[in-house]
Amino acid sequence: MTTTEPTMSGPELEALIGRSEINDLEAILSVVSPSDGEPEHHVPSTFDTLFTWNYERSHAPMSRLYEKAKNSQWNGATDLPWDTEVDIEKVVADNFLARAGGSFGADFDPAGTPFAKWGDKEWLQLGVESNRWTMSQFLHGEQGALVCTARIVETVPSIDAKYYAATQVMDEARHVEVFARYLHDKMGGEYQMNAHLGLLIDDILRDSRWDMTYLGMQIMVEGLALAAFGFIHQMTTEPLLKQLLRYVMSDEARHVAFGVMGLKDVYSQMDAAEIRERQEFAFEAAVRMRDRFLQQEVWERMGISARDILPMVMENEDRKLFQSMLFSKIVPNCKKLGLLDAADGWLRTKFTELGVIQFEDWVDTAVEYETFDAVNHDREAQAAAS
Ligand SMILES: [Fe+2]
Ligand SMILES: [Fe+2]
């Protein structure tokens, strides 16, 4: 698998993402978190709320997805083992020991780096902060999904999509609830929203076109979340988090499938200029998510200047591999929507430069979503046992 890092630069990039060098650290670090010292964040926007008088349920796959969603609701307060004792330091230590080499500390030569004097204590603390940061971004991202899907209920034209999106609003409320509770009860509180995640969600909300809410949230943000949840679900030895992620993923797979189903026909009828705009939006989202995973707030918390450490972090092979894996759902879904190859294959070129094109033939989420159904699987197992 390639872990080629992008070398993109130039005026086109400047117009798309506001900086002419993709790895321009000063520009990356200059973005401020939307929750920086503020109790609330306001995003001004204008959009049309759309009523339909056509109540006929004409989109069979989406109608099926809606029925499935109604039968797959779970209760975040009673369906998870909240009485589990969580020793976060032990979880981090297990993660260190599970990786190749099975030891604490750097998997590189730390001489001459800010890590040179670090012992087990600092590495453990980095692991704890990094975990807490990751879970915090999931929490804030879930709130982004909550407000985006509430928006979709208002703006999407078809009744099938309004019905389905309404179930997703409930799902996202539950996700915010369980991540907030996990962070508060088991991890000692949350980090503020990462600046780049905030920028991306603001961009999605500022756009008045309903399909852009879908593309930004359902395809890009949720596609990445589904891959990230899958990775952590597989890695973690903590039983409460494992169950929480298993149930959240069971919902998220439906959400991404909804995005693919909702956009497929619409995009097949757009002209090249309209598609190119969607490709650019998808690319911009991909870069924001890549910037986000530099987790600049964690380095500052550890007393290391992000400016000093990020050039090294960007070169770390494990990080590159993990980061590219996060696109394993996004790329096949973009392909299914025709976004990779339309408009002269502009997005294919960009995803190749980002080092993530290798996922294009992986199964798309509209096909695989039912394999994630943990909630009904557990109910059937319980019924069979009783
Ligand atoms: Fe969610
Ligand atoms: Fe979701």
Full DSSP string of 33-95: -TTTT-S-------------S------HHHHHHHHHHHHT---TTTSS-TT----HHHHHHHH
CATH code of the domain containing 278: 1.20.1260
Domain count, the chain: 1
For residue range 243-262, list pLDDT tens digits in order.
Answer: 999 999 999 999 999 999 99
Q: Which ligand is nearest to the CA of 141?
A: 1
* pLDDT of res. 197: 95
126 inside domain: yes
* pLDDT of res. 6: 54
- Asked whether the predicted pLDDT for residue 146 surpasses 50, the reply is yes
Q: How far is the CA of 249 from the centre of ligand 2 (A)?
A: 8
C-alpha dist (Å) from residue 121 to 104, 157, 186: 10, 55, 20
Cβ–Cβ < 8 Å for 8, 353: yes
**Residue 7 banded pLDDT, cuts 50, 70, 90:** low
Q: Residues 6 or more apart from 109 whose CB is under 8 A from it?
A: none
**Residue 77 banded pLDDT, cuts 50, 70, 90:** very high
Q: Which ligand is nearest to the CA of 214?
A: 2
260 inside domain: yes
Q: How far is the CA of 315 from the centre of ligand 1 (A)?
A: 31
Cα–Cα distance between 367 and 375 in angstroms, integer? 18
C-alpha dist (Å) from residue 180 to 137, 249, 341, 360: 11, 17, 40, 34
Name the pTM for this structure. Answer: 0.94
For residue range 149-166, list pLDDT tens digits in order.
Answer: 999 999 999 999 999 999
107 inside domain: no
13 inside domain: no
Q: What is the average pLDDT across 344-359?
A: 94
Q: Which residue has the higher pLDDT, 13 or 80?
A: 80
* pLDDT of res. 294: 87
Alpha carbon of residue 18 to chain centroid: 22
**Residues at Cβ < 5 Å from ligand 1 ion:** 142, 145, 172, 175
Q: Which domain holds residue 266?
A: 116-385
Q: Which ligand is nearest to the CA of 143?
A: 1
Q: What is the average pLDDT across 282-286?
A: 95
DSSP 21: B
Q: Which ligand is nearest to the CA of 175?
A: 1
Q: How far is the CA of 250 from the centre of ligand 1 (A)?
A: 10
269 inside domain: yes
Mean pLDDT of the chain: 92
**Residue 193 banded pLDDT, cuts 50, 70, 90:** very high
Q: How far is the CA of 251 from the centre of ligand 2 (A)?
A: 7
Q: How far is the CA of 121 from the centre of ligand 2 (A)?
A: 36
Q: Which residue has the higher pLDDT, 80 or 189?
A: 80
Q: Which residue has the higher pLDDT, 322 or 203?
A: 203
Q: Which ligand is nearest to the CA of 168?
A: 2
* pLDDT of res. 101: 66
- Asked whether the predicted pLDDT for residue 104 surpasses 80, the reply is no
Q: What is the CA radius of gyration of the chain?
A: 21
Q: How far is the CA of 365 from the centre of ligand 2 (A)?
A: 13
5 inside domain: no
278 inside domain: yes
- Asked whether the predicted pLDDT for residue 316 surpasses 90, the reply is no
* pLDDT of res. 3: 45
DSSP 194: P
- Asked whether the predicted pLDDT for residue 96 surpasses 90, the reply is no
- Asked whether the predicted pLDDT for residue 130 surpasses 60, the reply is yes
